[in-house]
């Protein structure tokens, strides 16, 4: 079975949004869950978080950053094209029941994962404060969507070219110091960002949930590639997560493991790009 790309839209030079026709996945998908896809029959399996869904249209939205050979190949697909596999929803949905006031902290392409959580909370009547951070203006995505789902939105950039200059932890700390009574802080983004969000909230004792997206292969817990140490115990992000108590995650171990295949990924991307250029020429 193949899955049709219904819509494709670049969000910036490195990030693309696609709506995939997958009625069975769309019927069950919830914020926080993920899918695993293959671009073609010979391709590798990659996990992508569900960035949205339309149950009536039977589509699931994915947003991905072009970092390796597979995401580069996926980005070469256009509306009307097909991909081979689209499996899900996998993982556990984010627990959102009973929240009255939540701060969502998103970093970079992680904002694509954070947005459906913010939207769902907003629909449930929760007061949502969102803090989203990027390196610069050119990389900003989903600002309008976050604004619509948030009672308060703070945009941060490293260089100050959009919004406020600085790190996402700065307005978060200010909010906590001003006694914003958050039921929970939900952080989704690069590991180092989530690590420092946790360091910021820990002194205030505010429940902090992080979304862990480590190396995954099968998405069912069989391969062990996504193992993490949480509260001194081994957990698997694909079946036990992807959401975990940020105070219990061993971020140093997670960051060390996430770098294992970075060189391989870069070389695969460069090889794929060179092959594609030759085919075009």
pLDDT digits (tens, 9 = 90+) for 127-158: 999 999 999 999 999 999 999 999 999 999 99
Structure tokens at 253: 């171990």
What pLDDT, on a 0 to 100 scale, did the predictor assign at position 120? 95
What is 21-80 written as a DSSP string? E-HHHHHH--TT-EEEEESSTTSPPEEEEEEEEETTTTEEEEEEE--SHHHHHHHT--TT
What pLDDT, on a 0 to 100 scale, did the predictor assign at position 280? 44
| Sequence spans of domains, the chain | 3-90, 101-258
What pLDDT, on a 0 to 100 scale, did the predictor assign at position 69? 86
Judging by beta carbons within 10 Å of its beta carbon (0-12, 13-18, 19+), is residue 69 exposed, middle or buried? buried
Angle (CA) 95 214 218, round 5°: 90
Candidate CATH numbers 3.30.750.24, 3.30.43.10, 3.40.50.80, 3.40.50.300; the one for domain 101-258: 3.40.50.80
Candidate CATH numbers 3.30.465.10, 2.40.30.10, 3.40.50.2300, 2.40.50.100; the one for domain 3-90: 2.40.30.10
What pLDDT, on a 0 to 100 scale, did the predictor assign at position 221? 64
The segments of the chain whose pLDDT lies below 50 read 264-265, 267-281
Peptide bond into 44 cis (omega under 30): no
Give the C-alpha separation, 238 to 47, whole Å: 9
Q: How many CB atoms lie within 10 A of CB 107?
A: 25
What is 133-178 written as a DSSP string? EESSGGG---HHHHHHH-SEEEEEETTSSSSEES-THHHHHHHHHT
Give the C-alpha separation, 155 to 29, whole Å: 28
Give the C-alpha separation, 116 to 135, whole Å: 22
Predicted structure pTM score: 0.85
pLDDT digits (tens, 9 = 90+) for 26-37: 999 999 999 999
Going from the C-alpha of 135 to that of each of 93, 162, 165, 227, 255, the distances in angstroms are 29, 9, 10, 29, 20
């Amino acid at each position: 079975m193949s899955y049709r790309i219904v819509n494709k839209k670049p969000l910036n030079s490195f990030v693309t949004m696609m709506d995939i026709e997958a009625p069975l996945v769309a019927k069950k998908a919830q914020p926080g869950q993920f899918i695993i896809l293959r671009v073609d029959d010979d391709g590798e399996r990659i996990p992508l978080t569900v960035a949205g869904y339309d149950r009536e249209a039977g589509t699931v939205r994915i947003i991905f950053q072009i970092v390796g050979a597979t995401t580069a190949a996926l980005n070469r697909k256009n509306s009307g094209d097909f991909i081979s596999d689209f499996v899900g929803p996998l993982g556990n949905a984010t627990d959102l029941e009973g929240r009255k006031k939540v701060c969502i902290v998103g970093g970079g392409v992680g904002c694509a994962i954070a947005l459906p959580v913010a939207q769902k909370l907003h629909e449930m009547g929760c007061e949502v404060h969102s803090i989203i951070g990027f390196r610069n203006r050119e990389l900003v995505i989903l600002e309008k969507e976050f604004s619509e789902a948030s009672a308060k939105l703070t945009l941060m950039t490293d260089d100050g070219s959009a919004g406020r200059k600085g790190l996402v932890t700065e307005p978060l700390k200010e909010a906590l110091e001003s006694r914003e009574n958050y039921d929970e802080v939900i952080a989704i983004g690069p590991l180092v960002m989530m690590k420092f969000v946790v360091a910021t909230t820990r002194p205030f004792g505010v429940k902090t949930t992080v979304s862990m997206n480590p190396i995954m292969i099968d998405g069912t817990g069989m391969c062990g590639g996504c193992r993490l140490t949480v509260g001194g115990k081994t957990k698997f992000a694909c079946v036990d997560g992807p959401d975990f108590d940020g105070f219990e995650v061993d971020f140093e171990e997670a960051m060390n493991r996430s770098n294992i295949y970075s060189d391989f990924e870069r070389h695969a991307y460069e090889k794929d790009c060179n092959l594609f250029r030759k085919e075009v020429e």
